[in-house]
Amino acid sequence: MPSSPSRASFCRPAISSASAVAISSPRRHWTSLPARANATLRLIDAYDFEVDLANGWLRARLATHAGYRTVQTLPGVGPTLAAVFVAEIGEVDRFSDAAHLCSWAGMTPRHRESDTKVHRGRITKQGSTLVRWAAIEAVQRIPSGSWLTSTRAAITERRGRNIATVAVARRLLTLVYYGLRDGEIRSLRRGKAAA
């Protein structure tokens, strides 16, 4: 049987040429690193300019929106979440009541019914993802001592933390509806007058 060439003789030239490429490649790119960094910084400056331009336009547009200022009075809702509510919900008059807004946002439980059997499941999640996210985020940021915090604690005792969070988010979204529709939230005004 003829002797076959050893495996090492085939691998040795490949290994030596690969290491030569690996060693020389980073040096070649290091010389162009400052130029690439400067190009990236110029792109970041251009994007910052566009973001600042859009922010200015949004601030000017939201400054005259009565619902935007009203929604910010809700606990846990700041300027960003209020802007999300205003932008995503749009014209609130298209909803006949707050329950329709909550249903549109996917914050209502599924309802399956057949004859006398009724099954209520998880929330539908069939509406605007951003409105749902903003409502849940606002509930997570509610400061302690708020009436929504006590409501959340009571529901948490009975049903669990996640169900309580969604239930309070649905109540908050109801208040957002009235704030956007009327430009004021009467239930908050009554609470402050009683205190």
Q: Which residue has the tokens 């979204």?
A: 173
In the predicted model, what is the mean pLDDT of the chain? 81
Tens digits of per-residue pLDDT, 112-125? Answer: 778 888 777 777 77
Q: Lowest-confidence range among 3-12, 54-63, 70-79, 158-167? A: 3-12
* pLDDT greater than 70 at residue 193: no
pLDDT of the residue at 26? 55
pLDDT of the residue at 173? 94
- Interhelix angle 79-89/33-63, rounded to 10 degrees, is 70
Asked if residues 178 and 186 have their Cβ atoms less than 8 Å apart, the reply is yes
* pLDDT greater than 70 at residue 192: no
pLDDT of the residue at 135? 93
pLDDT of the residue at 56? 92
pLDDT, mean of residues 10-23 = 48
Asked if residues 110 and 122 have their Cβ atoms less than 8 Å apart, the reply is yes
Per the DSSP assignment, residues forming a β-bridge with 123 are 109
Structure tokens at 73: 């009075």
Percentage of residues in the chain with pLDDT exceeding 90? 38
* pLDDT greater than 70 at residue 10: no
pLDDT of the residue at 114? 83
Tens digits of per-residue pLDDT, 25-54? Answer: 555 555 677 888 889 999 999 999 999 999
* pLDDT greater than 70 at residue 17: no
Report the number of secondary-structure helices (H) and strands (E) in the chain: 9, 2
DSSP label of 145: T
pLDDT of the residue at 19? 47
User: Residue 108, by phi and psi: left (phi above 0), alpha (psi -120 to 50) or beta?
Assistant: beta
Tens digits of per-residue pLDDT, 130-174? Answer: 999 999 999 998 888 888 888 888 888 998 888 888 899 999 999
- Of 95, 85, 175, the residue nearest 132 (C-alpha): 85
